[in-house]
Structure 1
């Protein structure tokens, strides 16, 4: 049974896309077939982490939403990134990415005209079926709009990312309350970009008490992650780094929700 995992944050700048890419790659290394869809159409960018050149992307999610192609035509096999970590990966180890267009004309059209959210939902179902996916990860647009509400509502697992920041705390409270009203059964929090001097145990207790939701992991603000500057999948390049170990722990909790 395929699982849909939405990765969401109320505000931008939380490291949502970076974490989505790292979680997706980590799940794929478990022998799973994984797809990632970049639905942050207004400010796309996750393709950069996989080394996809936007000038060479023949189709994007935008093309599907405007009826120019099938959703399968927008999926790029990026499984090559897994080879560095696992040279003997089996046939089932597959990782696909559906990027959104970085072209200004495409972004402005979305902002001006919107799009059929129902067609997006159909696309999720079609891509799972056509690529025989075990997991579909949705990299959502920050905040709350019609698209994010859909992604949250259809999620088997909702991962909410926040920073230790008062604005993030308030926005996350709204998101958690909404997700509970939408009867999302499995919800996990990830606190990112936490200064190493913080007491992580106290922060975890504070978050779980405040939101009545389990914290899957707390990621320290890492100079190494900053220096990589989204040029690669961090967990694949630095598999023994503390950041990577925490991502693996988060991934295991996501897999246990199945």
Structure 2
């Protein structure tokens, strides 16, 4: 039975797409068939991390929602990135697929103007799981709370909420947690991102965990290497021994368990 993992943040700029992509890649490397759906249709970004540009995308999630293709036709096999260097090797049966949202301005505008049938997303997620025989499906959500986000959260077996050590993020995360509890999400994990290295990470972890009564799965440093990479690659593959990657491995381990 495949697990659906939604990765969400109440505000933008938390590093949600990078976290989603690195978690999905790490779990695929462990020998799982993993899919990612970029449902942040208004501001898509996951495609950049996997090197997909406009010329390589024949169908996107938008096309499925408009009835132009099956969801499987919008899924791109990006498993080649798992054949990494530096002595790493993907476990047998590893596979990674991405359903991007369109990066064409006209199609983004059309979604904003016309909307779409959110219930189709549910059908699409299930079709994708069955047609690609997925073990895990990651949903990269749109920040904030809207109909699509509520559906994704409600469908999830695991909800990963990302926040920064910021007052606005703290308040927004509290709202998201309350909603997830009302929707009876079975498992929630918090990820604290972009933390200055001068902070006491363990003290911050304990403070946030106590405030929300939700496990803090990882506390990630704000690092220059991530800024330099500029969303052009999967960080955990480029820097396999970096503290940021070690934290991703811890979060992935909690999802796998």
TM tier, smaller: over 0.9
1:13-24 map, 5 Å: 13-24=13-24
2:158 and 2:187 in contact (8 A); partners too: yes
Distance 2:220 2:13 in 1: 14
Shift of 1:88: 5.1
Distance 2:186 2:71 in 1: 27
Tell me if 1:50 matches 2:28.
no
- Paired positions, count: 256
2:141 and 2:149 in contact (8 A); partners too: yes
1:142-153 map, 5 Å: 142-153=143-154
Distance 1:113 1:207 in 2: 39
1:156-176: CA deviations, max 9, x gaps? 000000000000000000000
What is the TM-score when the length of structure 1 is the normalising length?
0.97
Stretches of structure 2 that go unaligned for 5 or more consecutive residues are none
Distance 2:51 2:88 in 1: 19
Shift of 1:45: 1.0
Secondary structure, aligned partner of 1:25 = helix
Distance 1:50 1:43 in 2: 16
Number of the residue aligned with 1:81: 81
Distance 1:31 1:89 in 2: 7
Instruction: Report which stretch shifted further, 90-99 or 211-220.
Output: 90-99
Taking only aligned residues, the RMSD between alpha carbons, in angstroms, comes to 1.0
Distance 1:201 1:137 in 2: 27
Tell me if 1:96 matches 2:97.
yes
Distance 2:56 2:225 in 1: 29
Instruction: Report which stretch shifted further, 89-98 or 7-16.
Output: 89-98
Number of the residue aligned with 2:61: 61
1:52-106: CA deviations, max 9, x gaps? 1122210000000000000000000000101015775455110000000011111
Shift of 1:202: 1.2
2:39 and 2:101 in contact (8 A); partners too: yes
1:105-150: CA deviations, max 9, x gaps? 1111111111001111100000000000000000000000000000
1:67-146 map, 5 Å: 67-85=67-85, 89=90, 91-146=92-147
What is the TM-score when the length of structure 2 is the normalising length?
0.98
2:217 and 2:250 in contact (8 A); partners too: yes
Distance 1:104 1:13 in 2: 20
Moved over 6 A (4+): none
